[in-house]
Amino acid sequence: MNMQVLQLQISEMVAVDEQGLGRLCARLGQGAAQDVLCRALEEMALRLSRCERFSSAGDWSALEKDVRALGRIAERIAMPLLALVATDVRRCLAAQDQIAVAATLARLIRIGECSLVAIWDLREVPG
């Protein structure tokens, strides 16, 4: 029997809410908004990395904490899809469904990484 393995190429369409970023800029001012955004992106990158590590170690409590924080950061800096997927991961954690956690966490990490790139590609907060 000859079996072929098909590798799926998964990609996510990530959109940054530029109007939300504009509101952040209007509320804080251009310079302060840039500072908030840079700190948030650094925190997101750190938490995405930790989520992978906590998942591999089976530390569900620490994973839930970082996923919750990622969701809050995403809401603050106008990344609604990332915030939504963080909620999905937390629901799977609450249900103690390890397969669903693995799948939704992989999506969270993919979207998080794509979101980081999308924000950096904007170069500056719209004003």
Asked whether residue 31 is domain-assigned, the answer is no
Tokens representing residue 24 in the block: 């952040």
For residue range 60-113, list pLDDT tens digits in order.
999 999 999 999 999 998 899 999 999 999 999 999 999 999 999 999 999 999
Question: Could you write out the DSSP letters of every residue in 86-99?
Answer: HHHHHHHHHTT-HH
Q: 119: part of which helix (H) or strand (E)?
A: helix 98-122
What is the C-alpha separation between 6 and 97, in angstroms, rounded? 26
- Structural domain including 124 reads 48-127
Tell me, yes or no, whether 106 lies in a domain: yes
Structure tokens at 8: 């799926």
| Residue 7 maps to a domain | no
The yes-or-no verdict on residue 125 having pLDDT over 50 is no
How many CA atoms are closer than 13 Å to the CA of 92, on its beta-carbon side?
21
**Counted domains in the chain:** 1
